[in-house]
Amino acid sequence: MVGVLPLFLVRSAIFGRMLVSTPQAAYGGVLADSDSVEAAILQRARELAKELQVQFLELRNFRNPVEDDHLLKKDLYVTFRQELKEDLEANMLLIPRKTRAEIREGIKHGLEFRVDEIGPKDFYNVYARSVRDLGTPVFTSRLIENGRREFGLNCKIFSVHWKGTLVAAVWTLFYKDEVVPYYGASLREYNRLAVNNYMYWMLIKYGVENGYRTFDFGRSKKGTGSFDFKKRWGMTMTDLPYQYALVRRQSMPDTSPLNPKFSLAIQTWRKLPLSVTTSLGPLISKHLI
């Protein structure tokens, strides 16, 4: 094997049919030993996109953009990563002063950090509330449950508690020497306790103490609250050069929630009862990428 490209056919009622590498993930694209192998794989992907009559082919590259002037590029997403030091205090000093102060604020409030003390159901309840407040349809709880089972020991659920109440949690993957917090959530009425800063610092601490060397804070869209939050941690920010080959579409696709077309729906979604968004969310989210 000298090259690989994972591709998924997505049938979306919102965006149409798409070939994506990789949906519901931050990274994807072609991995190849040489330029000629890369070109051959891309050529076959384009042929497949035409055969399947999709709207477009999307490559979610990280460090592996394809050298092809005919591919369109989107300048929207970035990822934040940090190399972890063996000394815990050295990692704290890498964090800007204001964020360090907020971490200490969380410690002062008596927050508790626990490892695998809650299950997928408890995590999902917090996550569903959190994304509803952001105006985002929640995916099915089976994704959390099946992911936990599939990844086994490489998946853990970390939680933050205050006076016995679950206030935040993060569903986290471990890959080689990397800590990858994938789905994080907190109850907004407890944000005054600095629960998010505390939680991610404790996750960094867990990574250092267990021999991990990289903290992958994940993807964010420029101009969002998530982007601003992660930027305050002083980690290395890297643009994600997503590339597109148009097939049936005539212009660059905009599948981001920042698309003005979705603004009214997002505002409405935030006001719906949690029982409604939890029921309808999985029906909608399967059409998102």
Q: What's the pLDDT score for residue 162?
A: 98
Question: Considering only CA atoms, which of 124, 9, 110, 98 is closest in space to residue 58?
Answer: 9
Nearest partner of 136 among 220, 19, 258, judged by Cα: 258
Question: Quick one: pLDDT at residue 215?
Answer: 98
pLDDT at 251: 86
Q: What's the pLDDT tens digit per position in 97-115?
A: 999 999 999 999 999 999 9
Residues in the chain where the model's pLDDT stays below 50: none
Q: Which among 256, 244, 171, 260 is positioned nearest to 20, based on CA atoms?
A: 244
Residue 260 pLDDT: 78
The answer to whether 20 touches 26, Cβ cutoff 8 Å, is no
**Run of H or E residues at 248:** none
Tokens representing residue 94 in the block: 């890498």
So what's the pLDDT on residue 252?
81
Q: pLDDT tens-digit profile of 228-264? A: 999 999 999 999 999 999 999 988 887 777 677 788 8
Segment 220-233, tens digit of pLDDT: 999 899 999 999 99
Q: What are phi and psi of 206, to 5 degrees?
A: -60, -45
pLDDT score, position 253:
80
Q: What is the pLDDT of residue 42?
A: 96
